[in-house]
Amino acid sequence: MKSFMLFSCILMIACSSPTSNKSKYDAPQDHTISKSGAMHKPGLNDPLTNCVSCHGADLRGGDVGVSCYECHGKKW
């Protein structure tokens, strides 16, 4: 089980590397909507519902440490 998980990690890194030079972040696979190369998760127009669980209740980073406001003004 452990080796399988390690293998999937290596696969994910290998698959995402061709696009990773577009952004300093390595967004999860479910972030499928590209905005000028910055990968956004679907539901981005309602972030206070869809993004707060990882990007923080105030959208300033939370557990993943990526704040919406480092690229956007204070919109939400």
Smallest separation, CB 6 to ligand HEC (Å): 19
Of 7 and 25, which CB lies nearer to ligand HEC in the complex structure? 25
Distance in angstroms (rounded) separating the CA atoms of residues 68 and 10: 28
Of 6 and 28, which CB lies nearer to ligand HEC in the complex structure? 28
Binding site for ligand HEC (CB under 6 A): 23, 25-28, 31, 35-36, 38-41, 43-45, 47, 50-51, 53-55, 59, 64-66, 68, 70-72
